[in-house]
Structure 1
Amino acid sequence: MNLHLYIHPVNALIVAISLVVGYLVWRRPRVGAAASLSTPVAGDLPGGAGAALATMLILAFLFGLGDGENRVGDGKPGPVTTVRESPAGPLSSAVSP
């Protein structure tokens, strides 16, 4: 049994950049009361996860999510709808004499 998972290169790049941003935010030392200690305190995990998710969302909106399908169209024209008007005009039934 073969299972193949295709990941579009744009999606892989978006995830990789988001993970790097999340890691950098998580590893950033906190500024404040903990900064006076001799050893720096690492950043918080929720902040890193939030930064990674925000980066992923923004990049997905900017570059679009590639799924490997071409959605331009098949070149065939679609159905055309027509509206027929009565000889007296479009409002002839709404106006009473």
Structure 2
Amino acid sequence: MKQLAGILSLSVIAIQLLGQTYQPSWSSLRNHHTPEWMEDAKFGIYCHWGLTTVKQLDGNGNKHLRELIPLFNAEKFDPAEWAQLFKDAGA
């Protein structure tokens, strides 16, 4: 009997949910409750720095990765500058 009541309850909920259509509007966003954890969450940044990055530079698109190895160096890399940039962005 409990199983039947559970199935009936889930069916009623499913039917109600199927009857609602999402409307992409500002008013629907205002009705959405944002969880507290999301309000406190940080913005994440992922960086990839490698030979494929050098390949994106002008004139390197058709070169084999082996040819780009000498161009891949850290002459202008400033980790403190990157960290500040990410911090300023909200990460």
Short-chain TM bin: under 0.3
TM-score, with normalisation over the residues of structure 1? 0.24
**Quick check: which one's helix share is greater?**
2
Relative contact order: is structure 1 or structure 2 higher (C-alpha 8 Å, sep ≥ 6)? 1
Greater Rg over alpha carbons, structure: 1
